[in-house]
Amino acid sequence: MKKELIYLLVFVLSFSFVSAGVVINEIMYNPLGVSDTYGEWFELYNKGIDEVDIDGWTLKDDGVNNYVINNDGYLGIPSKGFITLCRNSNISINGGINCDYDYGAFY
């Protein structure tokens, strides 16, 4: 999963992020306090002047695995704001991270 998450964040989404002003701000790919299944997450920062809706964006690794963000509607990152996407949004078992979107795992 670690390798997949790195490829996901660096290679696939970077093209969309550049045009939208969204960048990867922080990555937790191998937490020490909890297992990867519960504790992996990444944070996106919108450096642009317009809010960006990431609902419908695709998370993808360097292979065939992917996940389409489906928030049942708008999932925005405000201008100069952050959003955290996590494998597990349960704060009592994910290491205490407040998640804006739970992507679980992707296959």
Could you read off the pLDDT of 13-65 as tens digits, one per residue? 544 544 569 998 999 988 889 988 889 999 999 999 999 999 999 988 888 88
pLDDT at 30: 86
pLDDT at 3: 53
- The pLDDT of residue 52: 96
Whether the per-residue pLDDT at 1 is higher than 90: the answer is no
The amino acid occupying position 60 is K
Q: Can you point out the beta strands (E) in 1-107?
A: 22-28, 41-46, 52-53, 58-60, 66-68, 76-77, 82-86, 101-102
Choose among 75, 73, 72: nearest CA to 53.
75
Helices (H), 1-107: 2-7, 14-20, 36-39
Length of the chain measured in residues: 107
What rounded mean pLDDT belongs to the chain?
A: 84
pTM: 0.77
Q: Which tokens in the block code for residue 88? A: 């597990």
Long-range interactions of 30-34: CB distance < 8 A, separation 24+: 30/2, 31/95, 33/95, 34/93, 34/94, 34/95
pLDDT of residue 17: 47
Q: Can you give the pLDDT at residue 61?
A: 80
Please determine, for residue 10, whether its predicted confidence score (pLDDT) is greater than 60.
no
